[in-house]
């Protein structure tokens, strides 16, 4: 998508104080609207235009730069799928790196795994973390205070470029590839992530909704394949992110992670002593079965 078009879409999505509807522009011909029952917070930070509002159907809603990021109502789908698919596939992840994820939902789900000894969360904007603690406490459920948690306020790209540590799992919980989030989808960033992964490590990232932005998938698969032996995508249905299923990127040098049996996934899930709301071993296996239109968007 051309940058001029992205700029147009962003300008169309900007919150206007005189309306009770928050308009998220998905393309030039399509938008979704959330009624703002109450604006809880609005601020222009050093990195984002941030707004939090209450909606009767979705609870508290967070938007950055005109794009809906998370809601209380359906956050569990995204967070369970971006975390448990790689974590349970690996089975013994001790060190985890989260890029982004300032709302704390990914951190919460990672810390449910008893194998985890340390989680490093790197977010560029401290205010997102602070505001999420206040307005979205259910997302983190105390995860920021867990002794295994290490918070770093830094640019994610700069962090992985400089890091000398190795991680079993890297989860990139970023905004869309627009503005500040764009650099988290580059060939350079994926190469630095590969260097920071342990030999059996797995990288996952959000890849948007392929029905509305298939070009993101095509670009990312080529960049990931230049660094990783095994690159796949899996999907989940998340109501907030309209336009069909959302895609997650999966990259590793250990292809056997993708062949784990449903029975073994169930055994590993049982150890969590936590009942998921969306994730199941059956969903895990089925999520890698892509609709034909998504296959068509991938390079042959």
Q: Which of 112, 118, 131 is nearest to 47 (CA)?
A: 131
Check if the beta carbon of residue 258 is closer than 8 Å to that of residue 211.
no
Confirm if 252 and 230 have CB atoms less than 8 A apart. yes
CA dihedral 234, 5, 173, 132 (to 10 degrees): -130
Determine whether 168 is an active site residue: no
CA distance 283 to 266: 11
- Separation between Cα atoms, residue 106 and residue 209, nearest integer Å: 19
**Residue 120 in contact with residue 97, Cβ under 8 Å?**
yes
- 236 forms beta bridges with 246
Q: Which of 103, 168, 173, 192 is catalytic?
A: 173
- Give the full edge-to-edge strand order of the sheet including 38-44: 38-44, 49-55, 59-64, 67-71
Whether residue 170 contacts residue 97, with contact meaning beta carbons closer than 8 Å, is answered with: yes
Task: State the DSSP code for 154.
Answer: S
Q: How far apart, in Å, are the Cα atoms of 148 and each of 36, 85, 96, 143?
A: 37, 21, 10, 9
Active site residues: 173
């Amino acid at each position: 998508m051309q940058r001029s078009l992205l700029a147009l879409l962003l300008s169309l999505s900007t919150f206007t104080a005189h309306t009770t509807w928050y308009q998220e522009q998905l393309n030039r011909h399509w938008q979704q609207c959330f009624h703002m029952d109450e604006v809880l917070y609005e601020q222009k930070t050093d990195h984002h235009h941030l707004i939090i509002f209450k909606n009767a159907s979705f609870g508290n809603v967070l938007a950055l730069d005109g794009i809906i990021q998370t809601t209380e109502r359906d956050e569990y789908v995204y967070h369970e799928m971006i975390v448990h698919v790689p974590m349970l596939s690996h089975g013994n992840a001790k060190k985890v790196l989260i890029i982004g994820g300032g709302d704390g939902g990914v951190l919460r789900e990672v810390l449910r795994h008893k194998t985890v000894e340390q989680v490093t969360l790197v977010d560029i904007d401290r205010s997102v973390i602070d505001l999420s603690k206040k307005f979205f406490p259910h997302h983190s459920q105390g995860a920021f205070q867990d002794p295994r948690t290490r918070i770093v306020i830094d640019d994610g790209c700069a962090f992985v470029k400089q890091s000398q540590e190795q991680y079993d799992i890297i989860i990139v919980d970023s905004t869309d590839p627009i503005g500040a989030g764009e650099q988290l989808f580059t060939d350079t960033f994926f190469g630095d992530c590969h260097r920071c992964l342990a030999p059996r490590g797995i990288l996952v990232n959000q890849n948007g909704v392929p029905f509305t932005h298939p070009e993101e998938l095509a670009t990312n698969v080529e960049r990931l394949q230049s660094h990783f032996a095994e690159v796949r995508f899996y999907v989940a249905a998340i109501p907030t992110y309209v336009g069909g299923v959302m895609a997650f990127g999966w990259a590793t040098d250990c292809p056997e992670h993708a062949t784990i049996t449903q029975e073994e996934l169930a055994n590993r899930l049982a150890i969590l002593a936590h009942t998921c709301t969306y994730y199941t071993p059956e969903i895990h296996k089925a999520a890698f079965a892509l609709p034909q239109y998504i296959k068509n968007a991938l390079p042959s």
